[in-house]
Amino acid sequence: MPNPHAAHSYDTPSYDAQSYDAQSSNPQDAQSSDPHDAPSPEVLSHDAPDLSTAWLRVFLDVARHGSFTGAARTLGWTQSAVSRQISSLEAALGGAPLFDRLPRGVRLTEAGRVLVPHAESVVERLHGAVRELAALREVAGGRLRVGAFATADAALVPRAIATFRARHPGVRLTREEGFTPVLLDRLTAGHLDLAVVSTTGRAPLDAFTLHHLLDESLYVAVPADHPLASEPRVRLTQLADADWISGGPRPEGTLLDAALRHGFRPRVAHVVAEWTAKQGYVAGGLGVTLIPALAAESVRPDIALLPVLDEDAPARAVYAASVRGRSLAPAAEAFLAALRESAAEIPGTRTT
Protein backbone atom coordinates (compact mmCIF):
# COMPACT_ATOMS: atom_id res chain seq x y z
CA MET A 1 0.00 0.00 0.00
CA PRO A 2 1.46 3.44 -0.89
CA ASN A 3 2.74 5.76 1.79
CA PRO A 4 -0.17 8.13 2.53
CA HIS A 5 2.18 10.98 3.35
CA ALA A 6 4.42 10.74 0.27
CA ALA A 7 3.39 13.60 -2.01
CA HIS A 8 4.88 12.04 -5.11
CA SER A 9 2.51 9.07 -4.73
CA TYR A 10 -0.51 11.26 -5.43
CA ASP A 11 0.69 14.32 -7.35
CA THR A 12 1.36 12.69 -10.72
CA PRO A 13 -0.63 14.86 -13.16
CA SER A 14 -2.54 12.69 -15.57
CA TYR A 15 -5.90 14.41 -15.73
CA ASP A 16 -6.85 17.05 -18.28
CA ALA A 17 -9.35 19.45 -16.68
CA GLN A 18 -10.70 20.65 -20.02
CA SER A 19 -11.24 17.07 -21.14
CA TYR A 20 -13.06 16.35 -17.89
CA ASP A 21 -15.37 19.37 -18.28
CA ALA A 22 -16.27 18.30 -21.78
CA GLN A 23 -17.10 14.78 -20.70
CA SER A 24 -19.05 15.97 -17.67
CA SER A 25 -21.38 17.97 -19.89
CA ASN A 26 -22.20 14.91 -21.97
CA PRO A 27 -25.95 14.17 -21.59
CA GLN A 28 -25.11 10.46 -21.52
CA ASP A 29 -23.14 11.04 -18.33
CA ALA A 30 -25.95 13.01 -16.76
CA GLN A 31 -28.43 10.18 -17.22
CA SER A 32 -26.22 7.11 -17.38
CA SER A 33 -27.74 3.68 -16.90
CA ASP A 34 -24.37 2.43 -15.61
CA PRO A 35 -24.99 1.05 -12.04
CA HIS A 36 -21.63 2.58 -11.05
CA ASP A 37 -23.00 6.00 -12.08
CA ALA A 38 -25.91 5.88 -9.62
CA PRO A 39 -26.67 8.86 -7.36
CA SER A 40 -24.66 8.92 -4.16
CA PRO A 41 -26.41 8.05 -0.86
CA GLU A 42 -28.06 10.86 1.06
CA VAL A 43 -25.80 12.30 3.72
CA LEU A 44 -27.46 12.26 7.13
CA SER A 45 -26.66 14.71 9.88
CA HIS A 46 -25.07 12.87 12.83
CA ASP A 47 -22.18 13.43 15.17
CA ALA A 48 -20.29 10.83 13.13
CA PRO A 49 -20.50 11.43 9.37
CA ASP A 50 -22.54 8.98 7.37
CA LEU A 51 -19.99 7.85 4.81
CA SER A 52 -20.25 5.39 1.97
CA THR A 53 -17.29 3.06 1.75
CA ALA A 54 -17.53 3.47 -2.02
CA TRP A 55 -16.66 7.15 -1.55
CA LEU A 56 -13.54 6.23 0.36
CA ARG A 57 -12.48 3.70 -2.27
CA VAL A 58 -12.96 6.25 -5.04
CA PHE A 59 -11.09 8.86 -3.00
CA LEU A 60 -8.09 6.56 -2.59
CA ASP A 61 -8.07 5.66 -6.28
CA VAL A 62 -8.12 9.32 -7.29
CA ALA A 63 -5.32 10.03 -4.83
CA ARG A 64 -3.20 7.18 -6.17
CA HIS A 65 -3.67 8.10 -9.83
CA GLY A 66 -3.51 11.86 -9.35
CA SER A 67 -6.46 12.19 -11.69
CA PHE A 68 -10.15 11.54 -12.01
CA THR A 69 -9.48 10.03 -15.42
CA GLY A 70 -7.14 7.35 -14.09
CA ALA A 71 -9.46 6.49 -11.20
CA ALA A 72 -12.45 6.22 -13.52
CA ARG A 73 -10.51 3.93 -15.83
CA THR A 74 -9.45 1.68 -12.94
CA LEU A 75 -12.95 1.50 -11.47
CA GLY A 76 -14.73 1.13 -14.80
CA TRP A 77 -16.83 4.19 -14.04
CA THR A 78 -17.47 7.45 -15.85
CA GLN A 79 -15.54 10.55 -14.81
CA SER A 80 -18.77 12.24 -13.77
CA ALA A 81 -19.57 9.34 -11.44
CA VAL A 82 -16.13 9.64 -9.84
CA SER A 83 -16.59 13.39 -9.47
CA ARG A 84 -19.95 12.97 -7.76
CA GLN A 85 -18.52 10.44 -5.31
CA ILE A 86 -15.76 12.85 -4.33
CA SER A 87 -18.23 15.75 -4.02
CA SER A 88 -20.45 13.63 -1.76
CA LEU A 89 -17.48 12.71 0.41
CA GLU A 90 -16.38 16.32 0.69
CA ALA A 91 -19.90 17.38 1.65
CA ALA A 92 -20.16 14.66 4.29
CA LEU A 93 -16.87 15.77 5.85
CA GLY A 94 -17.83 19.41 6.19
CA GLY A 95 -17.29 20.78 2.70
CA ALA A 96 -13.51 21.24 2.67
CA PRO A 97 -12.04 20.26 -0.73
CA LEU A 98 -9.99 17.09 -0.72
CA PHE A 99 -8.28 17.79 -4.04
CA ASP A 100 -6.92 20.84 -5.81
CA ARG A 101 -7.99 20.77 -9.44
CA LEU A 102 -4.92 21.44 -11.61
CA PRO A 103 -4.61 22.11 -15.34
CA ARG A 104 -3.63 18.48 -15.69
CA GLY A 105 -4.80 16.21 -12.93
CA VAL A 106 -5.53 16.78 -9.27
CA ARG A 107 -3.50 17.03 -6.07
CA LEU A 108 -4.41 16.28 -2.47
CA THR A 109 -5.19 19.25 -0.27
CA GLU A 110 -4.10 19.26 3.35
CA ALA A 111 -7.55 17.89 4.27
CA GLY A 112 -7.08 15.13 1.72
CA ARG A 113 -3.68 14.22 3.14
CA VAL A 114 -5.19 13.93 6.61
CA LEU A 115 -7.97 11.69 5.31
CA VAL A 116 -5.76 9.24 3.38
CA PRO A 117 -4.52 7.07 6.28
CA HIS A 118 -7.99 6.92 7.82
CA ALA A 119 -9.58 5.91 4.52
CA GLU A 120 -6.89 3.27 3.97
CA SER A 121 -7.52 1.90 7.45
CA VAL A 122 -11.29 1.63 6.90
CA VAL A 123 -10.92 -0.03 3.50
CA GLU A 124 -8.30 -2.47 4.78
CA ARG A 125 -10.44 -3.37 7.79
CA LEU A 126 -13.36 -4.10 5.48
CA HIS A 127 -11.16 -6.23 3.26
CA GLY A 128 -10.01 -8.06 6.38
CA ALA A 129 -13.60 -8.66 7.43
CA VAL A 130 -14.41 -10.09 4.00
CA ARG A 131 -11.40 -12.41 4.19
CA GLU A 132 -12.31 -13.61 7.69
CA LEU A 133 -15.95 -14.19 6.76
CA ALA A 134 -14.86 -16.18 3.71
CA ALA A 135 -12.56 -18.25 5.94
CA LEU A 136 -15.49 -18.97 8.27
CA ARG A 137 -17.67 -20.10 5.36
CA GLU A 138 -14.91 -22.31 4.02
CA VAL A 139 -13.93 -23.56 7.52
CA ALA A 140 -10.44 -22.25 6.83
CA GLY A 141 -10.15 -19.93 9.82
CA GLY A 142 -11.83 -18.63 12.95
CA ARG A 143 -12.25 -20.45 16.23
CA LEU A 144 -14.22 -23.35 17.63
CA ARG A 145 -14.79 -23.90 21.37
CA VAL A 146 -15.82 -27.40 22.36
CA GLY A 147 -16.66 -28.93 25.74
CA ALA A 148 -17.10 -32.58 26.69
CA PHE A 149 -17.70 -34.76 29.73
CA ALA A 150 -14.84 -36.93 30.94
CA THR A 151 -15.60 -40.30 29.33
CA ALA A 152 -16.31 -38.67 25.97
CA ASP A 153 -12.70 -37.51 26.17
CA ALA A 154 -11.49 -41.12 26.31
CA ALA A 155 -12.01 -41.83 22.60
CA LEU A 156 -15.00 -40.07 21.03
CA VAL A 157 -13.75 -36.48 21.22
CA PRO A 158 -10.01 -37.07 20.57
CA ARG A 159 -10.79 -38.96 17.37
CA ALA A 160 -13.15 -36.24 16.23
CA ILE A 161 -10.56 -33.54 16.97
CA ALA A 162 -7.90 -35.43 15.00
CA THR A 163 -10.24 -35.77 12.02
CA PHE A 164 -11.31 -32.13 12.22
CA ARG A 165 -7.77 -30.76 12.45
CA ALA A 166 -6.64 -32.85 9.51
CA ARG A 167 -9.43 -31.36 7.40
CA HIS A 168 -9.45 -27.81 8.76
CA PRO A 169 -5.99 -26.93 10.11
CA GLY A 170 -6.67 -23.20 9.94
CA VAL A 171 -9.42 -23.29 12.60
CA ARG A 172 -8.28 -22.57 16.15
CA LEU A 173 -9.94 -25.31 18.25
CA THR A 174 -10.03 -25.23 22.05
CA ARG A 175 -11.53 -27.84 24.36
CA GLU A 176 -12.60 -27.99 27.96
CA GLU A 177 -13.85 -30.81 30.17
CA GLY A 178 -16.65 -30.80 32.73
CA PHE A 179 -19.83 -32.38 33.98
CA THR A 180 -22.86 -32.07 31.73
CA PRO A 181 -24.67 -29.39 33.84
CA VAL A 182 -21.53 -27.22 33.89
CA LEU A 183 -21.02 -27.61 30.15
CA LEU A 184 -24.62 -26.59 29.49
CA ASP A 185 -24.16 -23.49 31.63
CA ARG A 186 -21.00 -22.62 29.69
CA LEU A 187 -22.89 -23.14 26.45
CA THR A 188 -25.74 -20.86 27.54
CA ALA A 189 -23.27 -18.15 28.63
CA GLY A 190 -21.66 -18.18 25.19
CA HIS A 191 -18.32 -19.63 26.31
CA LEU A 192 -18.74 -22.77 24.19
CA ASP A 193 -19.96 -23.33 20.64
CA LEU A 194 -20.73 -27.03 21.05
CA ALA A 195 -20.83 -29.36 24.07
CA VAL A 196 -20.75 -33.15 24.14
CA VAL A 197 -23.17 -34.08 26.94
CA SER A 198 -25.03 -37.10 28.26
CA THR A 199 -28.33 -37.88 29.93
CA THR A 200 -26.55 -38.97 33.13
CA GLY A 201 -27.45 -36.59 35.93
CA ARG A 202 -30.81 -35.72 34.42
CA ALA A 203 -29.75 -32.19 33.49
CA PRO A 204 -32.60 -30.19 31.87
CA LEU A 205 -32.07 -30.20 28.13
CA ASP A 206 -35.15 -28.36 26.85
CA ALA A 207 -33.28 -25.12 26.12
CA PHE A 208 -30.84 -26.86 23.79
CA THR A 209 -30.77 -28.33 20.32
CA LEU A 210 -29.54 -31.90 20.73
CA HIS A 211 -27.67 -33.63 17.93
CA HIS A 212 -27.77 -37.34 18.73
CA LEU A 213 -24.38 -39.03 18.58
CA LEU A 214 -24.89 -42.43 20.18
CA ASP A 215 -26.58 -44.57 22.81
CA GLU A 216 -24.06 -46.45 24.88
CA SER A 217 -24.29 -49.64 26.86
CA LEU A 218 -22.74 -50.34 30.26
CA TYR A 219 -20.10 -52.76 31.45
CA VAL A 220 -19.41 -53.94 34.98
CA ALA A 221 -15.72 -53.95 35.85
CA VAL A 222 -14.87 -56.78 38.29
CA PRO A 223 -11.54 -58.14 39.61
CA ALA A 224 -9.95 -60.72 37.35
CA ASP A 225 -10.59 -63.48 39.92
CA HIS A 226 -14.23 -62.54 40.55
CA PRO A 227 -16.69 -65.48 40.36
CA LEU A 228 -18.54 -63.77 37.48
CA ALA A 229 -15.38 -62.77 35.55
CA SER A 230 -15.83 -65.48 32.93
CA GLU A 231 -19.51 -64.77 32.26
CA PRO A 232 -20.33 -63.44 28.76
CA ARG A 233 -22.77 -60.91 30.28
CA VAL A 234 -24.46 -60.18 33.59
CA ARG A 235 -27.58 -58.63 35.04
CA LEU A 236 -27.01 -55.90 37.58
CA THR A 237 -29.17 -57.78 40.07
CA GLN A 238 -26.47 -60.46 40.20
CA LEU A 239 -24.25 -57.84 41.88
CA ALA A 240 -26.87 -56.38 44.23
CA ASP A 241 -24.83 -57.42 47.28
CA ALA A 242 -21.46 -56.22 45.98
CA ASP A 243 -19.45 -53.25 47.20
CA TRP A 244 -19.62 -50.55 44.57
CA ILE A 245 -17.14 -47.88 43.54
CA SER A 246 -18.86 -44.75 42.30
CA GLY A 247 -18.24 -41.11 41.54
CA GLY A 248 -20.70 -40.03 44.24
CA PRO A 249 -22.06 -41.32 47.55
CA ARG A 250 -25.58 -41.69 46.15
CA PRO A 251 -26.58 -43.52 42.96
CA GLU A 252 -28.98 -40.81 41.84
CA GLY A 253 -27.58 -38.76 38.98
CA THR A 254 -24.77 -41.25 38.28
CA LEU A 255 -24.41 -44.36 36.17
CA LEU A 256 -25.67 -46.33 39.19
CA ASP A 257 -29.12 -44.96 38.39
CA ALA A 258 -29.32 -48.15 36.33
CA ALA A 259 -29.25 -50.20 39.52
CA LEU A 260 -32.24 -48.28 40.90
CA ARG A 261 -34.05 -49.03 37.67
CA HIS A 262 -33.36 -52.74 38.27
CA GLY A 263 -34.90 -52.63 41.72
CA PHE A 264 -32.01 -52.42 44.19
CA ARG A 265 -30.02 -49.68 45.86
CA PRO A 266 -26.28 -50.33 45.47
CA ARG A 267 -23.98 -50.07 48.48
CA VAL A 268 -21.33 -47.44 47.63
CA ALA A 269 -18.19 -48.49 49.49
CA HIS A 270 -15.74 -46.04 47.85
CA VAL A 271 -16.33 -42.64 46.24
CA VAL A 272 -13.75 -42.18 43.48
CA ALA A 273 -14.03 -39.55 40.76
CA GLU A 274 -11.50 -40.59 38.12
CA TRP A 275 -12.05 -43.58 35.84
CA THR A 276 -8.44 -44.72 36.06
CA ALA A 277 -8.60 -44.62 39.86
CA LYS A 278 -11.84 -46.60 39.90
CA GLN A 279 -10.13 -49.31 37.89
CA GLY A 280 -7.32 -49.41 40.42
CA TYR A 281 -9.80 -50.00 43.23
CA VAL A 282 -11.44 -52.79 41.22
CA ALA A 283 -8.08 -54.43 40.48
CA GLY A 284 -7.30 -54.30 44.19
CA GLY A 285 -10.44 -56.31 44.96
CA LEU A 286 -12.17 -53.43 46.74
CA GLY A 287 -15.40 -53.56 44.78
CA VAL A 288 -16.96 -53.37 41.34
CA THR A 289 -17.84 -50.39 39.19
CA LEU A 290 -19.78 -49.47 36.08
CA ILE A 291 -17.82 -48.52 32.96
CA PRO A 292 -19.60 -46.84 30.03
CA ALA A 293 -18.87 -48.02 26.52
CA LEU A 294 -17.09 -44.74 25.73
CA ALA A 295 -14.40 -45.60 28.29
CA ALA A 296 -14.24 -49.35 27.69
CA GLU A 297 -11.33 -49.17 25.27
CA SER A 298 -9.04 -47.68 27.90
CA VAL A 299 -9.61 -50.33 30.61
CA ARG A 300 -6.53 -51.85 32.26
CA PRO A 301 -5.79 -55.53 31.54
CA ASP A 302 -6.00 -56.85 35.13
CA ILE A 303 -9.75 -56.42 35.46
CA ALA A 304 -12.64 -58.04 33.58
CA LEU A 305 -15.36 -56.15 31.73
CA LEU A 306 -18.78 -57.78 31.63
CA PRO A 307 -21.52 -56.39 29.36
CA VAL A 308 -24.66 -55.49 31.32
CA LEU A 309 -27.81 -57.15 30.05
CA ASP A 310 -30.44 -54.41 30.00
CA GLU A 311 -33.54 -55.09 27.93
CA ASP A 312 -35.31 -51.90 28.96
CA ALA A 313 -33.09 -49.14 27.61
CA PRO A 314 -29.43 -48.21 27.06
CA ALA A 315 -27.65 -46.67 30.02
CA ARG A 316 -27.49 -43.22 28.51
CA ALA A 317 -27.66 -41.19 25.33
CA VAL A 318 -24.84 -38.90 24.24
CA TYR A 319 -25.49 -35.69 22.32
CA ALA A 320 -23.69 -32.72 20.88
CA ALA A 321 -25.64 -29.78 22.30
CA SER A 322 -26.00 -26.24 21.04
CA VAL A 323 -28.20 -23.43 22.33
CA ARG A 324 -31.64 -23.52 20.77
CA GLY A 325 -32.11 -20.61 18.37
CA ARG A 326 -28.40 -20.05 17.76
CA SER A 327 -27.24 -21.15 14.34
CA LEU A 328 -24.17 -23.37 14.19
CA ALA A 329 -21.13 -21.86 12.52
CA PRO A 330 -19.68 -23.85 9.61
CA ALA A 331 -16.79 -24.96 11.83
CA ALA A 332 -19.22 -26.34 14.42
CA GLU A 333 -21.15 -28.15 11.67
CA ALA A 334 -17.89 -29.67 10.44
CA PHE A 335 -16.92 -30.77 13.95
CA LEU A 336 -20.36 -32.29 14.47
CA ALA A 337 -19.80 -34.38 11.34
CA ALA A 338 -16.43 -35.51 12.73
CA LEU A 339 -18.10 -36.47 16.03
CA ARG A 340 -20.64 -38.61 14.19
CA GLU A 341 -17.87 -40.37 12.29
CA SER A 342 -16.03 -41.00 15.54
CA ALA A 343 -19.19 -42.28 17.27
CA ALA A 344 -19.67 -44.90 14.56
CA GLU A 345 -16.29 -46.41 15.50
CA ILE A 346 -16.95 -46.84 19.25
CA PRO A 347 -17.69 -50.47 20.21
CA GLY A 348 -20.72 -51.12 22.40
CA THR A 349 -22.66 -48.11 21.14
CA ARG A 350 -25.60 -47.56 18.83
CA THR A 351 -25.67 -44.47 16.61
CA THR A 352 -29.18 -44.76 15.16
Rounding to the nearest 10 degrees, give the CA dihedral for residues 26, 30, 36, 40: 140
pLDDT 10s digits, 226-253: 999 999 999 999 999 999 999 889 988 8
pLDDT for 14 equals: 33
Is residue 43 scored above 80 in pLDDT? no
- Report the distance separating Cα 284 and Cα 223, nearest Å: 7
Is the pTM higher than 0.75? The answer reads: no
pLDDT for 42 equals: 43
pLDDT classification of 185: cutoffs 50, 70, 90: very high
Antiparallel, parallel or unpaired: β 316-323 and 243-246: unpaired
Least confident of 51-55, 83-87, 144-148, 320-324: 51-55
pLDDT 10s digits, 112-121: 999 999 999 9
User: Looking at the DSSP assignment, which residues form a beta bridge with residue 270?
Assistant: 245
pLDDT for 311 equals: 61
User: Looking at the DSSP assignment, which residues form a beta bridge with residue 194?
Assistant: 146
pLDDT classification of 48: cutoffs 50, 70, 90: low
User: Looking at the DSSP assignment, which residues form a beta bridge with residue 208?
Assistant: 323
Please state the rounded mean pLDDT for residues 218-228. 94
pLDDT for 20 equals: 30
Please state the rounded mean pLDDT for residues 148-166. 94
pLDDT for 11 equals: 35
Is residue 60 scored above 80 in pLDDT? yes
User: Looking at the DSSP assignment, which residues form a beta bridge with residue 306?
Assistant: 220
- Report the distance separating Cα 167 and Cα 140, nearest Å: 9
Is residue 2 scored above 80 in pLDDT? no
pLDDT for 35 equals: 38
pLDDT for 33 equals: 36
Task: Name the more confident of 330 and 8.
Answer: 330
Mean pLDDT of the chain: 84
SS (H, E, C) the chain: CCCCCCHHHCCCCCCEHHHHHHHHCCHHHHCCCCHHHCCCCCCCCCCCCCCCHHHHHHHHHHHHHCCHHHHHHHHCCCHHHHHHHHHHHHHHCCCCCCEEECCECEEECHHHHHHHHHHHHHHHHHHHHHHHHHHHHCCCCCEEEEEECHHHHCCHHHHHHHHHHHHCCCCEEEEEECCHHHHHHHHHCCCCCEEEEECCCCCCCCCEEEEEEEEECEEEEEECCCCCCCCCCECHHHHCCCEEEECCCCCCCCCCHHHHHCCCCCEEEEECCCHHHHHHHHHCCCCEEEEEHHHHHHCCCCEEEEEECCCCCCCEEEEEEEECCCCCCHHHHHHHHHHHHHHCCCCCEECC
pLDDT classification of 203: cutoffs 50, 70, 90: confident
